[in-house]
Structure 1
């Protein structure tokens, strides 16, 4: 896993619709300040501070050439990033290739206050969080994330479908904060937008091969060029496989030694057709397949001895404590290290298989006064994820109740967007309509067996949700005075998320009981919601190199459903009626979440654009915050972990971010970014039962998965060698504060803060046709936890996912 090089690569072409460059930096004399009043004086003083302080820190003149503009499409048109009043981080194609970024996690590590974890390893479902606004993250993919994922302007209703598609990109944009105006629903946290490389008029190509730890092989290639006078195409593909970066500490016969193997391949075809002088049609086809494995958890005992007194955290994390299994005579667990896991399951039982196909058509035509853009997409995604559900806490793997879960999900989605947008000397505007629909199915059998493989019981939950959503939207950016721009926009969305199926079947050694129809007990399985979201911002650009902005935005997230069941009530009518009522109440629908966000920010370029400094501060107010609660369900006599969605009430979040990139000359690059975060549930009626703390009111608790700080840095030293090219010595690091993954915020589940360092040696030939690198990630073999929960605490166990171990690799590339 690549660690971050923070900041943005600069794209050297200028766009015609970028604001005109002003020739001189505005100087404010004392008399001028007084004449403009206290607000103008304060703004000028802040700008002077922003210019002077980084210049002092930079320590001298710069020697690099003007690198041009960073171009983004955060507002659905190409703009210089300094003109966009939104917190945006950009990861360029060069950085993706140099750092071998191929997972969601590696992208998050480029961005302040962006946090991604996985329940069962990076081959499975991601849990995205931007500024403390968490995604959906569960294995049943019926609901959508609060952090949206877009690929080439197409919204993906299931972010886990992106597996294997992150290749041959032009850039990756991470937009922090609600994007409810131009991108719409389910963007309360922000969004990640993957922009693929476009076809070229000249014949070009590139290829690379990587080999590393655990028989790690990664192949990437792309070729692009004209097929005729008015037709250009690009074909790109990638393949990645390894034997698994995790080691099974289980000692039982036949246990697989390596875990979390990966095999993914993808192909993408993009073809552009010129239709006359003013129109263009783009057809894009993407297909990917994933044949990998999930990463088992590891269990940590929490009791000191048979007295069941709870151990200190340091002893728990050092595996000095016990649980019910160890007290029953099984051997103690060894101290866990990064890359460790325990499972008694086979590779087939841990299999992750996914199949993704996407078809996109984009038509553009220029009327002179405006452009018309129509984008249509159809996507199909199938996924099956097998996981070890018994949280093994002993190398023997003998839990007596061994659980294997299979999460089978299917989805089909269609979307259509029609936009009309234009520009004048003082006004940029866009308006449009949008339609989205999908059908999602989930089939999740959980099988419990004894140590000899005999069936104890099987619980099978099946569900389906259909979504239809339509919206109209518009935004205008008005440069009403020199240096000042007012932006305002709104979106009206009407949506129906209908629960079409919800049932559960219990099978024991004696046979199967009739399915329990949960849907029949749900009071409102067909809710319709209507929302107005929007954004208003004011931007001041005193110079072409500096901007200040203040904004207010509002976002909304769709209703959700809880559709994992375990209680079936047995065979008696009274028991089944009680189970139906309980499950129907848990199903929901769980109400929407709404977010009001206030933000101020500054974007600056100094010293002939060799130093960039971006700052942002934000304050969020939530109403109806949705959160995911993991519960150890004992209702059937066998402990089964289920995931439930809740409206926890009202919450507030505030924080700050900084991104600084400095290239004083052609020998050095320095990149630093970081974020601060503070969260609190301010009003909640919920009181949860913690297995360790007892009854815990949620009001006053922080939101889960929100480390209070994170920091990333990269130092690169370039060494040109005449006749050979440029060698680069690079160090990358990321650190973050402790975080907690449970709603009750039990301190015993706090994951300690940690930091990881990577080292890399890169080479590029003088003609830039050839490149190579050697790298090591987690160079100092830091042992750290990636995730933890307390769902099995009553059995004396904390359930943990370990981080990745030290990995190495070498890579060769060619471009033509």
Structure 2
């Protein structure tokens, strides 16, 4: 609640020429404050000071005097956790050029900090919800990387896979299914996952609190973000199914307390265009609405050279050309293949049902009709197989008999109900429903005459509900308890044209799963500086899997049964169920107000299931067992006004490791392959190098060093065992690092010039078990540059360059086929904020 000082006080202040008007922000007394000797439990997001100051006054039970004109146009930093009013005000006003001066027992006056303007100021506080409550990132005893929404937009992050070259320790493995079947790994875990839509991802993706059950949802566009949080390492307590590698939380923006929004348009290399717009704010005292849209088109940097010398080719059997087999066609040359054609929209509704009850509803949808990105192939001089149709050394040119597009729709909604039961007791319910339909075509080796073409049609649906009750206000004991349930159904039919088996065959799959979990965590502070946290999670998984394998033999020359050592046309109907108790124990000690250390030990669980690749034998239809992990971590957090340093060491040991590997019939499928370990060190550093009246400079650096190893490998092939044991895990680069310099030059008249130089390094990694040199991608380093000119009229003009050194790199190698990264690209854009 905001009120004004008395007329007498106002006259005195005017007479002194101090201010034109004074604002008084005050709030109701806080029981939590009385119980903690002047320390209040605060939760404030970054927002305009005009809104942040009254909110802080209410939560901290203080009075704030300030001139409205003094705070107008300034933005307060986020504040979270238990803090004294003076500490909270110091963090809130960091970087604003203002300071709070105590003028009474519970009264502060906000003034200009003129004497401090030339000094180095503080970093903005980063607030995360990694433990399902708001807390400053340095107070969270686990490894968490955060990309703020505005920063994500500047870096061009519009999907989960875009995070890979922006966050150290992340990698993407496209396995056998191309770019539409990506596998995210964290700290070397996840790269051996199943790329098909019924798989169990090791990295749990959550969008606005809703767990995404399938890797298919990695294609969901991310835009109008508040932030993205990456929780590294097994999360066996507070999060849902399959978090043995970690969790990615994407949190989108809500309406806010005042009308605001933005519109942005961009044009770049290869005729790339992007448009994004959002607007939100209060409609009434109880209702807020926000709408956001994103459109992307163009940007394809590959050149299709047609079928080359294989145009018109038909296979031979014992020297006889099989004229009944359709001849390979030549689609002609195609420039700019790989274009995007994406549109996405989201609507958010915030409704205050009662003074202590809020409901947030989000509806979203996306439509993707872009090109299916293709593999290139090594030069013909290095690949003498018939599949090579004249390939040259140009990595951006490929040969093909067609240029397929994709059809991917993702849609759904979520609702979050937050109710304050009583002081220090909060109830939260998060429900979600969503689905996806996908039709994707392609081939696995980048040639006109591949081992097989695939045409996959998939339909997914899921529904989930999570209920939580928590006392999380920063007292001596905090706790959270809840229940989680999710059910999902996947139908996916894949049609294959196999030139290896000289036939056309279908794999028809249907899988239904459900998962129930009960979880709880307690944080206990036996003394002021020590926090002990303990949590447990019980999980129950059930799955039904049905399908059939059909050899259509349209040409009458099928070698299906002999090629795949199987019997054609069989069906299956299998079930899987398992349960597990996982947990985590953590101790965090505050050495000083700026330094804390923690250690933790825990377990993680990933449910078993079924192979979703091509099924050739009855043995492949049987379920594989659940995977478990033992995790040990230790960390250090040092935070001052200018520096934020994190240091983490970890070691994980996996049993019943799930992986896609070569099976007994020489096909690739899912199995429990043995034991593995991942260990390493991570460091993160944020430094406010300089901030003065004229300029600011901030350095952000992060690096991960990994050592992963297959400890034991189960196979009836002795050669495979010998070749695999001791190898690193797929999707586990030995080193990954990012470095960014952010500079702002404050010009006259409210103008400013911003620049960002970013460098990212991704180390050597393989994309599968039993990896040969042709499956090991070499390290690469990318350099990106961006400049922005912001005007006082809320316009921003910007220009950027990505991979400005034009490095040729390959995120995936698959024998002679290779997936090439984008060359140097450039672009310009304009944004208007209101």
TM-score for both structures, normalised by structure 2: 0.79
Say if 1:385 and 1:80 are closer, same or farther in 2 by CA, change over 3 A: same
Question: Corresponding residue for 2:215?
Answer: 159
Match 1:538 to one of 587, 601, 612: 587
Map 1:777-788 → 2, pairs under 5 A: 777-788=802-813
Contact 1:255 1:345 (8 Å CA) reproduced: no
Which residue among 477, 493, 498 is the counterpart of 1:427?
A: 477
Taking the TM superposition and a 5 Å limit, the aligned residue runs for 1:69-84 are 69-84=125-140
CA contact (8 A) 1:440 1:465 kept: yes
| Distance across 2 between alignment mates of 1:68 and 1:729 | 18
2:610 corresponds to 1:610: no
Query: What do the CA deviations read for 1:57-87 (whole angstroms, capped 9, x no partner)?
Result: xxxx993333442100000011111111110
Q: Does 1:286 align with 2:364?
A: yes
Which of 318, 322, 341 is the equivalent residue of 2:383? Answer: 322
Q: Does 1:683 align with 2:712?
A: yes
Partner of residue 728, structure 2: 702
What is the CA–CA distance in structure 2 between the aligned matches of 1:532 and 1:295, rounded to whole Å? 41
Q: Structure 1 residue 91 and structure 2 residue 147: aligned?
A: yes
The residue number in structure 2 matching 1:388 is 443
* Alpha-carbon contact 1:64-1:664 (below 8 Å) kept: yes
SS of equivalent residue, structure 1 residue 182: coil
SS at 1:134's partner residue?
A: coil
Question: Which structure has the greater CA radius of gyration?
Answer: 2
Residue 721 in structure 1 maps to residue 799 in structure 2:
no
The C-alpha deviation readout for 1:433-466, integer Å capped at 9, x for no partner, is 111101111101012469xxxx942111011111
- Report the Cα offset of residue 270 of structure 1: 0.8
Query: Hey, what's the Cα distance between the residues in 2 that align with 1:331 and 1:234?
Result: 52
* Matching residue of 1:800: 818
Give the equivalent residue in structure 2 for 1:355. Answer: 409
Match of 1:561 among 610, 628, 636: 610
Q: CA deviation at 1:729?
A: 3.1
Contact 1:138/1:643 (CA < 8 Å) preserved in 2? Answer: no
Whole-angstrom distance in 2 between the partners of 1:66 and 1:547: 19
Task: Pick one of 718, 722, 730 that aligns with 2:756.
Answer: 730
**Which residue among 614, 619, 633 is the counterpart of 2:651?**
619
- List per-residue Cα deviations over 1:321-363 (Å, max 9, x = no partner): 232228xxx76431133x44332213xxx22111111121211
Question: How many residue pairs are counted as aligned between the two chains?
Answer: 700
The answer to whether structure 1 residue 811 and structure 2 residue 829 are counterparts is yes
Q: TM-score, normalised by structure 1?
A: 0.81
In 2: Cα distance, 1:322 partner to 1:17 partner: 61
RMSD, aligned CA: 2.8
Q: Distance in 1 between matches of 2:149 and 2:519?
A: 31
- Equivalent residue for 1:551, pick from 600, 605, 618: 600
Alignment CA distance shift 1:518-1:85 (3 Å) = farther
Distance 2:490 2:810 in 1: 32
Contact map agreement 1:782 1:805 (CA 8 A) in 2: yes
Other-structure match for 1:474: 520
Q: Distance in 2 between matches of 1:166 and 1:689?
A: 45
Counterpart pick for 1:345 among 402, 418, 440: 402
TM-superposed CA distance for 1:13, in Å, is 4.1
Shift of 1:196: 0.6
Structure scoring higher RCO (CA < 8 A, sep ≥ 6) equals 1
Contact 1:461 1:505 in 2 (8 A): no
Matched residues in 1 for 2:806 and 2:78: separation? 44
Q: Does residue 504 of structure 2 align to residue 486 of structure 1?
A: no
**Residue 814 and residue 697 in structure 1: after superposition, are their counterparts in 2 closer, same or farther (change >3 A)?**
same
Measure how far apart 1:542 and its partner are: 2.2
Q: For 1:238, what is the secondary structure of its paired residue? A: strand
* Cα separation, partners in 2 of 1:120 and 1:494, compared to 1, 3 Å: closer
8 A contact 1:732–1:758 mirrored in 2:
yes
Give the 3 Å change call, closer, same or farther, for CA 364–494 of structure 1 in structure 2.
same
- Secondary structure of 2:162's partner? helix
Map of 1:38 onto structure 2: none
Q: Is contact 2:605-2:629 (8 Å) kept?
A: yes
Q: Distance in 1 between matches of 2:523 and 2:195?
A: 41
Please show how residues 372-771 of structure 1 align to structure 2 within 5 Å: 372-392=427-447, 397=448, 399=449, 403-423=452-472, 425-448=475-498, 456-510=502-556, 518-520=570-572, 525-565=574-614, 567=616, 583-606=617-640, 609-629=641-661, 643-666=668-691, 667-686=696-715, 688=717, 696-723=722-749, 725-766=751-792, 769-771=794-796
**Does residue 269 of structure 2 align to residue 223 of structure 1?**
no
Q: CA deviation at 1:723?
A: 2.4
Secondary structure of the corresponding residue to residue 552 of structure 2: strand
Q: Which runs of 4+ in 1 moved over 6 A?
A: 21-24, 511-515, 630-634
CA distance in 2, matches of 1:334, 1:10: 53
- Listed as ranges, the gaps of 5+ residues in structure 1 are 1-8, 25-60, 302-318, 568-582, 635-641, 791-797
The residue correspondences of 1:246-265 to structure 2 (distance < 5 A) are: 246-250=302-306, 252=308, 253=330, 254-265=332-343
> 2:145 touches 2:167 (CA, 8 Å); kept in 1?
yes
Q: Is the 8 A contact 1:563 1:587 kept in 2?
A: no
Query: Residue deviations 1:552-597, cap 9 Å, x none?
Result: 1211111131243364xxxxxxxxxxxxxxx121233111110111
2:192 is the alignment partner of 1:192: no
State the shift of 1:623 in Å: 0.5
- CA 1:16–1:73 in structure 2 vs 1: closer, same or farther (change >3 Å)? closer
What is the rounded CA distance, in whole Å, between the counterparts of 2:394 and 2:660 in structure 1?
27
SS in 2 for 1:674: strand
> What's the CA shift string for 1:365-402, capped at 9, x where partnerless?
1112411111111111111111123532xxxx4x3x67
Structure 2 CA distance for partners of 1:682 and 1:136, relative to 1, 3 Å: closer
Deviations 1:94-147 (A, max 9, x none): 101212211323212222211124358986222101011015665521112100
Cα distance in 2 for residues equivalent to 1:66 and 1:717:
15
